[in-house]
Amino acid sequence: MQEIINYKYDSFSKLVTQKHQSLLFLANYSEIEESESPVLFRGTLENAFIIAKCLIALFNIVKSNFNLSPIQLDLLKDPIITVGNNKIRFEGFSHCASIYARVDIFERKQNQGFIKNGSTNVNFNQDLVSALGGISRNDKIKLEVGRKQIEVTDKNKTIIERKVPLPIKWIKGLINIQQYMSQSDLYFTLDRIQALKLFRSIPASSINSDYYLIKRGNKFVFSPIKAENSIVIGGVNRLKLIEPLLPYIDKLKIFAKNDMQSVTCQLYFENTIFSFSLSRNTWRGFSGEGAVLDSLLEELPNELINKMNNFSYVNQEFNSTWLAIDKNESFDKIDNIIGKLAAIGLLGFDLEYNHYFYRKLPFKINRILSLNPRLKGVERLIEEKKVHIISNIDNKIEAKVEGSGVTHYIVLNDSNEKCTCVWHSQTHGERGPCKHILAVKKITNFKK
């Protein structure tokens, strides 16, 4: 939480209400924009009441905390907005980075209001959210994202937002979450009544131990007792943050990562999807996960990365399997390229359609690449010649790596990765490989 980025907004966000038309101006800032912040969207949003409810829920998630001290809560973080392919996406993390939330708004009218594809920070605060709470079912929202000067004023009340800092852990979380979502599968689909009843079974007190989502007949419940085909959810009380949205949903889908290290709830409305992802534990935010480290090991030609980046920008959305077939490339190579792009903040993942979407995080690439201390450790181990390969036969590798006063032993094969270091013993690879395993992989070009 020590390293922060200060936003430099060109103007102030404000909400101005005139009869049944609300004008929502969102000031934006991107660290990678050389000129003034561009206008990304200017148009009227359908279903304004639901969108306002979702944005309020997103704000409540952004300011929530499940693992930080009161002193650390002074840092309020603004969401990121991505505009492209007739979609507007707001995304952000909780203070502790153990919750990821995204609001996807789908506009039916082709090109209605869409001026430029892009991603940027937009500043939000309590006053603006309070004003959104006044949006009724008959109201409409005219949204404008980005403009040098805002000239509209409100005679009754002007909502002005302050400059705020963004902790680095947010960037790390935004990178890692895409890998977690891409490895998740659909387990359950609930209607509104089933969802409301399910959330009533969440314990009233805070629970740190694992709970299990179980289906019994046509009923879903949370239970402290494990059952067959159940989903593991740590810190189940965090789900209370989306409970206010349940009376308005059409359905609720629940996805889980294959190793149960994350769970995602998707709430469906007429033209909006609200995604809500939880890390396995409240003390273990997505920012600390090593989901993208393997992707960063392999050196890929800059020309190939640039081509893929251009392809992603032009197409905005794509499926990795379709791309491999279309480009006549191996699935492994495409997965590596996609992993590399996601690791440098150029891709997001859409669970509903099982495809990636182009989302260039509004932070400098060199800042993003500097956020992986394990990779720095890998380079040091290799430079200092502390990695020694004992054997490398039939894709089974045995090696030893010199540590601080101790030697670590590593075994890699098609089905397993083992290291004798404390990190691996504690996490069993669930939070990404340790630097010793990564160093051996890099030297031997090991692939499962």
Range 177-182 average pLDDT = 88
Average pLDDT over residues 361-390: 80
pLDDT of 163? 44
Confidence of residue 127 (pLDDT cuts 50, 70, 90): confident
**Average pLDDT of the segment spanning 415-421:** 90
What mean pLDDT comes out for the span 160-180?
69
Top mean pLDDT of 1-15, 182-196, 353-367, 434-448 is at: 182-196
Quick one: average pLDDT of 227-253? Answer: 94
The domain 293-369 having CATH identifier 1.10.132.20: the answer here is no
Looking at the predicted structure, is the pLDDT value of residue 167 above 50?
yes
243-256: pLDDT as tens digits: 999 999 999 999 99
Quick one: pLDDT at residue 253?
Answer: 98
* CB burial readout 139-157, b (16+ within 10 A) else e: ebbbbbbbbeebeeeeeee
User: Per-residue confidence at 334, pLDDT binned at 50, 70, 90?
Assistant: confident
Better-predicted residue by pLDDT, 372 or 437 = 437
What does the mean pLDDT of the chain come to?
Answer: 80
- What angle separates helix 331-343 from helix 168-182, to the nearest 10 degrees? 160
Ordered by start, the domain boundaries in the chain are 4-84+105-165, 293-369, 373-444
Q: What is the pLDDT of residue 170?
A: 76
Choose the weakest-confidence range: 69-78, 129-138, 223-232, 281-290: 69-78
Which is higher by pLDDT, 57 or 280? 57
> Which of 19-28, 162-171, 330-339 bottoms out in mean pLDDT, i.e. has the lowest?
162-171
| pLDDT given at position 209 | 84
Predicted confidence at residue 409, as pLDDT, reads 94
Q: What is the pLDDT of residue 156?
A: 43
The string of pLDDT tens digits covering residues 395-413 is 899 999 998 889 999 999 8
pLDDT recorded at residue 52: 92
Mean pLDDT of 109-133: 77
Q: Over 50: is that where the pLDDT of 148 sits?
A: no
Asked if pLDDT for residue 104 goes beyond 90, the answer is yes
Higher pLDDT, 83 or 243: 243
In the predicted structure, residue 128 carries a pLDDT above the cut 60: yes
Q: What confidence tens digit (pLDDT) does each residue in 205-218 have?
A: 777 789 999 999 88
More confident residue, 261 or 108: 261
pLDDT(114) > 70: yes
Instruction: Encode pLDDT of 192-202 as tens digits.
Output: 999 999 999 89
